[in-house]
Amino acid sequence: MIPRSRATGRAFAYQVFYRLPVPLRRRLVRLAVPKYIVGAVTLVWDTEAEGASRLLLLRQPPGYSWTLPAGLLQRGEAPVVGAARELFEESGIRLSPERLRPAVPNAVVHAKGWVDVVFETEVPASSTELVVDGAEVFEAAWHPLDDLPRLSRATAALLGRYGIGPQADQSARRV
């Protein structure tokens, strides 16, 4: 039970708060509420893979490790629309948002104040042209799960949540 003096203090604070003009209340809430950066990530699987599943990975600047197709959402953009946009911008794969399905778990909250909304899709690698711009992305390639290249720290951590890669629980590994 909350002590009476503390409860009345909180009640007084709410009374003062709700008497403030709405724009000022919104500004106070924005200052007090934690802020997150929201990104969209897509796991793109090769439907033609024989043996181990193959995943599309990108080599981006500075070029030392590989990542997933991903990027920040634009203001007001739906996560699935942002994921489809980023997939096209970074790999040249144009898919309608309806072709992307939520991964499980769909959102991964990172300790540094950002949230990744994760989607999955499948495409046939042999008939899917990968186009990179050479500035934002150096290279795009399909990699079997049992022979992944050096992953960025963030990508390895995210894939580990799905039972993939060096940080995965071996019993949850997708093969």
**pLDDT per residue as tens digits for the range 153-169:** 999 999 999 999 988 86
**Residue 84 confidence (pLDDT):** 98
Give the residue from 101, 76, 77 showing the smallest Cα distance to 89: 77
If one compares 170 and 116, the residue with the highest pLDDT of the two is 116
Residue range 12-32, pLDDT digits in tens: 887 888 888 989 988 888 888
Same domain, 150 and 66: yes
**Residue 136 confidence (pLDDT):** 87
Supply the range of the domain harboring residue 136: 37-172
Q: Is the full-model pTM beyond 0.85?
A: no
Same domain, 91 and 124: yes
**Number of residues assigned to the chain:** 175
Same domain, 146 and 81: yes
- Tell me if 38 sits within 8 A of 71, measured CB to CB: no
Same domain, 168 and 95: yes
> Furthest-apart CA pair in the chain: how many Å?
70
Q: Dihedral of CA 103/109/110/116: which sign?
A: positive
Same domain, 80 and 10: no
Task: Look at the chain and report how many structural domains it folds into.
Answer: 2
For the residues 36-65, what does the mean pLDDT come to? 92
Same domain, 95 and 10: no
Whether 172 has a pLDDT exceeding 70, the answer reads no
Same domain, 57 and 86: yes
Instruction: Report the CATH number that the domain containing residue 57 is assigned in CATH.
Output: 3.90.79.10
* Average pLDDT of the chain to the nearest whole number: 88
- Cα 79 from Cα 59, distance rounded (Å): 23
Give the residue from 111, 25, 37 showing the smallest Cα distance to 70: 37
Same domain, 1 and 48: no
Long-range contacts of 104-109 (CB under 8 A, 24+ apart): 105/161, 108/158, 108/161, 109/36
